[in-house]
A and B are shown apart, each in its own frame.
Chain A
Amino acid sequence: MTEMIKRFGPGLGGFFIALVALWIIGMVLAPNLMMLNFSLKPMLFPNDIGGPKDVYTVENYTALFGDRVHRAIFLKTVWGSGLVMLATLAITYPLAFWMAKVATIRGARAMLIALIIPFWINEVLRTLAWFIILSFNGPLNAFLLSIGLIDAPVRWQGDFGVLAGMVYAYILFMLFPIYNSISTLETAQLEAAKNLGASTWRIHRRIVIPHAKAGIATGCVFTFMLAAGSYVAPALLGSPGSRWFTEIIYNWFFEGGNWNRGAAYALVLLVLCMAVVMVTLKIFRVNLADVAK
């Protein structure tokens, strides 16, 4: 604090500190604390606030785990997000390795530019693309019918559509961090291992993956968090039978009219994502600074 004033003078230094305080206190801490407070209160009419009914309760949380449907949807969201995470990891790892270590500099560069294009296009449009492909009379069914793989159009929308759309939407959040971390590996190490007779599998298991663990952890954390918190994919590619946890939260706010319960549900989602971050960092033994790179 005094260091800031010393470096930039009282005017500019004070201004910077005020901006940081505004952000951290006003936009990060206060809203979350208010949400926590809100989630521990029952839903009240305005004139009951501050009255005898205005007491702290954990009812909004117990409601989530007491409700069979909501509990099932929550668990499905956890497990579906894990699936999206694993699928993106499996699909992108070979490509990341190829771009970082096998391809020529030009080839890798061209690939990077090609990949950045879908990455910059917004999630709603990427999901819309899948909405069109998976529609009942859409291109995928038409294609599968024409090659005779199916006899009648399939209804893809539902759990399958949601997961397919999410994998597509978040795949580059897995690819880029892994690519970045493999890039810093010395190619000589791979050659040495190969000359000493290590198999491809062993080289990856003992050299590449340990080296790339920060990138893998980052990719896992981001894809899980994005999938669990996704609203577009379930809303556009889901069916009434495939609801996602975020949709329930949305309904508490804008259809059910119980903000307190909605806040509790949102906090459960937040805690889930934080827990996944902590556990992933622990498993891969990396710290937060490596992830945020």
Chain B
Amino acid sequence: MTMTSPVTARPAARPVKALDRLSRALPKLLFIAYLTLFLAYLFLPLIIMSAATFNTSKFPTVTPWLGTTMGWFQELWNDKAMWKALWLSLGIGLAVVAFALPVGTAAALFLTSLDARARGIFYAVMVSPLLTPGVAIGIATLILWRQAGIGGGTFLIVLAQATFITAYVMLMVVARLQRFDRAQEEAALGLGASKWMIFRRVLLPFLKPALIAAAFIAFLQSFENYNTTLFVRGTDTPLTVYIATKVRTGLTPAVNALALILIALTIVTALVMELNRRRKEGGRKEG
């Protein structure tokens, strides 16, 4: 790096020139090395975890490779507890979406109707669940409902998860609402539309893209939640709890098979969304 100074570069022409070029390329080379390491760090664990699915070894690993098998998929398929956990997680996810979407939207509309001071206070209260550790949300929910005689279980899982997931929905709807022109509502009102009609035909269609994205994020957050769920689950076992329990009590590559399937699903979803985005962008350019 110090060789780049023009004063030192002058006398011994040749070797210094080579060094000079190297030192100029060095930041770039370093960056490429860093990028490679970063990507390896991010993906190698997932690749190793997936690859272990095909190893006959009873403990999931890739070293040593004892032989290739597809048998762990079979075992996963036949695992009744896994299916039960999967259905439960899907059900909880849908219930959370069904709750968080209307409540988050209502909260966003409520915020826009307040003056700046009140909005600041309510905003802080509404985003606070996102800045609270998940375990604390689970515990607070558990304690409150115990007073009413309701213990941990699916109902409390939905409630506790919805507490913070609603905040995500609220934020996404608020972001979209910032671009909403209230004059549209006034115009509809002037044309004699009822308030319900305006909401359904003007505001809701405008919010639709944000609501779809929010529903997706809400479902994903619910499906992968562990910390909050752990405290309010009672004896119910959603998928994340099932996986964590397996790791501690009897891990086999069947769990890796499950991981591999979820990873594949994630990749497909990401690609579909990207293609969708590109198609839309292409359409906009032409139109």
Using a CB–CB cutoff of 8 Å, the interface residues on chain A facing chain B are 1, 3-4, 7-9, 11-13, 15-17, 19-20, 22-24, 27-32, 34-35, 38, 91, 94-95, 98, 113-118, 120-126, 128-133, 135, 137-139, 142-143, 168, 171, 221, 225-226, 228-232, 235-236, 246, 249-250, 253, 259, 262-263, 266-267, 269-270, 273-274, 277, 288-289, 291-293
**20 CB < 8 A contacts A-B:** A19-B103, A19-B107, A24-B122, A29-B125, A113-B270, A117-B263, A121-B224, A122-B262, A123-B240, A124-B226, A229-B134, A232-B244, A236-B247, A246-B135, A262-B139, A266-B136, A266-B139, A270-B133, A292-B123, A292-B130
Which of B110, B125, B271 makes the CB contact (< 8 A) with A16?
A: B110
With A12-B196, A235-B248, A262-B139: A269-B133 Cβ-Cβ less than 8 Å: yes
Q: B168-220: which have CB < 8 Å to A? A: 171, 175, 185, 194-196, 199, 220
Structural contact, B60 and A132, CB atoms closer than 8 A: yes
With A4-B110, A113-B274, A273-B132: A28-B48 Cβ-Cβ less than 8 Å: no
Give the interface residue-count category, chain B. 35 or more
Provide the residues of chain A in CB contact with B259, threshold 8 Å: 121, 125, 128-129
Provide the residues of chain B in CB contact with A38, threshold 8 Å: 143
Pick from B9-17, B18-26, B76-84, B159-167 the stretch touching chain A: B159-167
Asked if B69 is an interface residue, CB under 8 A from chain A, the answer is no
Structural contact, B133 and A94, CB atoms closer than 8 A: no
Asked if B54 is an interface residue, CB under 8 A from chain A, the answer is no
A277 to B128, CA, bound (A): 10
With A34-B143, A132-B52: A23-B244 Cβ-Cβ less than 8 Å: no
With A29-B125, A91-B38, A292-B127: A23-B166 Cβ-Cβ less than 8 Å: yes
Structural contact, B127 and A288, CB atoms closer than 8 A: yes
What's the dominant secondary structure at chain B's contact region? helix
Structural contact, B135 and A118, CB atoms closer than 8 A: no
Provide the residues of chain A in CB contact with B199, threshold 8 Å: 8, 12
| Nearest CB of chain A from residue B152's CB, rounded to whole Å | 10
Structural contact, A270 and B46, CB atoms closer than 8 A: no
Asked if B7 is an interface residue, CB under 8 A from chain A, the answer is no
Structural contact, A229 and B38, CB atoms closer than 8 A: no
Which of A15, A28, A128, A259 makes the CB contact (< 8 A) with B129?
A: A28
Asked if B8 is an interface residue, CB under 8 A from chain A, the answer is no
A289 to B57, CA, bound (A): 51
> Which residue of A is nearest B141, CB measured?
A31
With A9-B195, A236-B244, A277-B131: A263-B139 Cβ-Cβ less than 8 Å: yes
A129 to B251, CA, bound (A): 12
> Which residue of B is nearest A273, CB measured?
B133
Provide the residues of chain A in CB contact with B68, threshold 8 Å: none
Structural contact, B231 and A24, CB atoms closer than 8 A: no
With A137-B63, A138-B61, A259-B143: A20-B39 Cβ-Cβ less than 8 Å: no
Which of A23, A123, A128, A288 makes the CB contact (< 8 A) with B124?
A: A288
A204 to B114, CA, bound (A): 39
Which of A3, A221, A236 makes the CB contact (< 8 A) with B248?
A: A236
Structural contact, A137 and B135, CB atoms closer than 8 A: no
A11 to B197, CA, bound (A): 13
Structural contact, A122 and B223, CB atoms closer than 8 A: yes
With A122-B223, A129-B49, A139-B61: A20-B125 Cβ-Cβ less than 8 Å: no
Structural contact, B266 and A120, CB atoms closer than 8 A: yes
Structural contact, A121 and B131, CB atoms closer than 8 A: no
Structural contact, A228 and B140, CB atoms closer than 8 A: no
Encode B48-82 as 1/0 by CB contact (under 8 A) with A.
11001000000111111000000000000000000
Asked if B147 is an interface residue, CB under 8 A from chain A, the answer is yes
Structural contact, B31 and A94, CB atoms closer than 8 A: yes
Asked if B29 is an interface residue, CB under 8 A from chain A, the answer is no
A133 to B51, CA, bound (A): 12
A267 to B270, CA, bound (A): 38
> Which residue of A is nearest B60, CB measured?
A132
> Which residue of A is nearest B138, CB measured?
A266
Provide the residues of chain B in CB contact with A130, threshold 8 Å: 45
Provide the residues of chain A in CB contact with B271, threshold 8 Å: 113
A253 to B152, CA, bound (A): 12
A118 to B43, CA, bound (A): 8
Asked if B5 is an interface residue, CB under 8 A from chain A, the answer is no
Asked if B254 is an interface residue, CB under 8 A from chain A, the answer is no
Provide the residues of chain B in CB contact with A289, threshold 8 Å: 123
